[in-house]
Structure 1
């Protein structure tokens, strides 16, 4: 049974000579809202945090704005409020577009990484190869988010466990286009039975690289993200060959 270091080794071998392609493909897919785990939270949470930071910036209670607001005319405040609302609206629209488009681009990115691990020729255009599955891809992303959210309402831990249980749904749907989103999630749950800890260990094994990427002001993630995606594809490739319970 392979461990985290084995999956990372398989990823490095697959990426050898193809780093430029992988970096550019992953970058564009990410801008479009793709996530190899088909989890829409990353696209929307960043926007939510940005809006929250704008509102809460200062001393936390808004007292730092008191002096400024007191000196502003009603007209100036109206203009500023309008500008803030416009920015917030644009961010929300961008987030929604990323969420919708990113659903099928995620499946395309998954297929790119599966082919990469299999040693096949890969190309940038593969991220759009699942556009015909838009409806299923969108419903899968939305269904996963809804179910994970509902489980999280019980307690945080059950939500995390379920997110790992559903984590292979995108891979399954990408390889089995005849399946429904519900079926893909059920198969993922069976596939991840006994494998959740292995995936957690694989993800945690990148923590050192992630810290270095943060120190590089995020630039390092251009290389780390394709590396992690390829390793995850290698993980799926192995567990998908195991008999389901």
Structure 2
């Protein structure tokens, strides 16, 4: 049985060994997952001076153009998310996995782009798609599935060539009976995140995000050893 204090204690020790790299990599992860900055669009006013004869068609043209541009941007964003951000998240998890046992090189951020790239892309895409579909049903099942899929990026970080069914099965087995404990572990960082918000994100960048990322890696290591340790015992 693991405890939050043990995971956090080990995470703090690792953070001291690789502080600046951990800050940089955590910042990248926070940006690509939207963890640090929310989507805040700026409201722009359209001039109300519309010519009676030609104004409405012109306004319709402007609105149609804006909608078309937004749709193109959404498609581009989805493509970037699937083919770049998904694999990059796996690489970042790998960086933290290595950091807990030895100094990790920033070159690890390119790992999955050179190792079973399309397999990583496919599995990360399926993870996001399944999460989205479960959330469409109800919030609670969506949250449960979110935690069930929690270990997928970590598994891919060590096994980028693994079959998708096996990856999902391993994540499900690792999180079996651990979803609530992991949820409580996440809740234990709420105080830090409130303080981070009060510092305009500075505390998040320079301490909270790397601290939490390293704690999550410690959790992955514990659950992996628990699963395979029990398997070996059998």
Alignment correspondent of 2:106: 124
Alignment correspondent of 1:155: 138
Number of residues of Structure 1 aligned to a counterpart in Structure 2: 221
Gap change, CA 1:205 and 1:185, over 3 Å in 2:
same
Deviation per residue, 1:21-56 (Å, 9 max, x gap)? 11122334555x3x5xxxxxx49x95xx54xx55xx
Question: Using the alignment, how far apart are the partners of 1:188 and 1:140 within structure 2?
Answer: 12
Alignment correspondent of 2:16: 16
Report the Cα offset of residue 209 of structure 1. 0.9
Q: Where does the alignment leave 5 or more consecutive residues of structure 2 unmatched?
A: none
Deviation per residue, 1:75-122 (Å, 9 max, x gap)? 98566875686467446524531332112211111111111122x121
Alignment correspondent of 1:242: 226
Q: Where does the alignment leave 5 or more consecutive residues of structure 1 unmatched?
A: 36-41, 59-64
Question: Using the alignment, how far apart are the partners of 2:30 and 2:116 within structure 1?
Answer: 19
Map 1:173-192 onto structure 2 (within 5 A).
173-192=156-175
- Contact 2:27 2:205 survives alignment (8 Å): yes
Structure 1 window deviating more from structure 2 (233-242 vs 12-21): it is: 12-21
Aligned with residue 170 of structure 1, among 140, 149, 153:
153
Question: Using the alignment, how far apart are the partners of 1:197 and 1:83 within structure 2?
Answer: 44
Gap change, CA 1:175 and 1:218, over 3 Å in 2:
same
Alignment correspondent of 2:97: 114
Alignment correspondent of 1:232: 216
Question: Using the alignment, how far apart are the partners of 1:160 and 1:148 within structure 2?
Answer: 8
- Contact 2:87 2:124 survives alignment (8 Å): no
Structure 1 window deviating more from structure 2 (75-84 vs 107-116): it is: 75-84
- Contact 2:30 2:209 survives alignment (8 Å): no
Report the Cα offset of residue 155 of structure 1. 1.8
Question: Using the alignment, how far apart are the partners of 1:97 and 1:8 within structure 2?
Answer: 33
1:99 aligned onto 2:82: yes
User: Over aligned residue pairs, what C-alpha RMSD do you find?
Assistant: 2.9
Aligned with residue 200 of structure 1, among 183, 200, 204:
183
1:144 aligned onto 2:144: no
- 3-state SS in 2 of match to 1:20: helix
- Contact 1:14 1:116 survives alignment (8 Å): yes
